[in-house]
Structure 1
Amino acid sequence: MLVDELDSTALFAVETSAPGVVVTPQPGIDQTHKQFRVTLDDAPAQRLAVASAEGVAALVDDVLIASAADALGAARAVMESAIEYAKVRKQFGQPIGAFQAVQHLCVDMYETVELARSGVMHALWAADAADSYERRLAALRAKAFAGRLSTVGDIAIQVFGGLATPGSMTPTSTSSGS
């Protein structure tokens, strides 16, 4: 955990089974990312390092970039699954992907994913090569693009046509009959 000290920020390790540590699971929508509330009451901690304000800012930027990349990967997987489904699901004797309305939905997903990908790629470059100001702007841009990625899920639901509830089945494993 990061703790503010007088003129710096220190990184401490706290054993979750130590006395004075209470870890409480928190409800969340995404079951792949568990959330917890951690309460410390006179818990023992080991100081690992001290970071400058610039170091902490760089760490925050890295977390923003990693979160944006994670969202990008999830959105891309949803998009690819929806596009594959549009190729195999038939209606009126042809794949639903042959219909212009479905094609527009797929293009909208693709555009959103590619804009976010560009933002993440630039942020990754800036994390290594740019000054702290440009790095911060690139990380915030990547976060902003990632915020739009939820629309990919909304659009995919339209392509799938309400096929199933989230997590109950993979759309590409269903029959392709009409």
Structure 2
Amino acid sequence: MFGWGTAGSGLATGIAFTTGFAVMAPALLKKSSLVSLRKGRFSFRLLGQMTYNGSSEGLSELSAGITVFLFNWVMMKNWGEVGVAAFTAINYMLNLGVQMFVGLSDGIVPILSFNYGAGHLNRVKETLFLGFKTNATIGIIRIMIYPVILGDNGVWLTVPLAEFFTFVSTIYLLRKRLKKWSVSIHA
């Protein structure tokens, strides 16, 4: 936008993270805060437990970082800074859509848990079907909007294809689970 190129992008990223930290720092530094950097003692045992517990998430984040690096490397070779910037902008929009899916899915988990525990399998079925319809509607809207935005097909299609295969495997696993419960996914 300002002609600063990659250096400007790096500077903007640094400013964004610094701003987020600056907003949260006062709350973390207060002695009266529930989550405070001043309270507590360091424990190697607790650090080991946290490292073990977070190792799967850590590996997921590491693999995501490697994937982003490889995408950026391929795009820099093929399309330069403009390609990386375009992919980044589109990826943020994609992330917004994915977060809507995740938010909806996380939102229905307590409803599913309560009703499954209470033995109300029809409510579980209704909630799953409503969640499916909502996610499908959001997905269809995204599919209709993204082709207008996307130009090059090669690199861009990898993410939607990955989502499609995730969707197909989810439906397969969901039907398999519902058969165990003797509940049909069809309304």
When normalised by structure 1's length, the TM-score is 0.35
Larger relative contact order, structure 1 or 2 (CA cutoff 8 Å, min sep 6): 1
